[in-house]
Amino acid sequence: DAGVIQSPRHEVTEMGQEVTLRCKPISGHNSLFWYRQTMMRGLELLIYFNNNVPIDDSGMPEDRFSAKMPNASFSTLKIQPSEPRDSAVYFCASSLAQAGGETQYFGPGTRLLVL
């Protein structure tokens, strides 16, 4: 079975450009999570969806960040405009349900560098 798929795996862009990260969760999973990992701040939960509906976006750093889940098999995280401090590894994860005890399955991540 395919795991969580993220694209692109690497992205290099210039400050001010729009960046779109994509995620395909595991088929049948109802919850999807976006995380950001940096050396300084560790792993931070940005937003999570349940049944395509955003449940908690309190971790989204500012209005430059937006996330959508138009259907059960696709989600995007968009940064517009991007800034150098957005450089990080962005992970998408999915789980069977929203219940707190569910295992999250992580994708390989997108390594973003904003120059």
Cα angle for residues 96, 100, 89 (degrees, 5° grid): 75
When the beta carbons of 56 and 81 are compared against other proteins, the nearer one is: 56
How far apart, in whole angstroms, are the C-alpha atoms of residue 8 and residue 41? 23
When the beta carbons of 50 and 81 are compared against other proteins, the nearer one is: 50
Q: Tell me the one-letter amino acid at 25.
A: P
Tell me which residues touch other proteins (CB under 8 A): 4, 33, 35, 42-45, 48, 55-56, 91, 93, 98-101, 103-109
| Least CB distance to other proteins at residue 44 (A) | 8
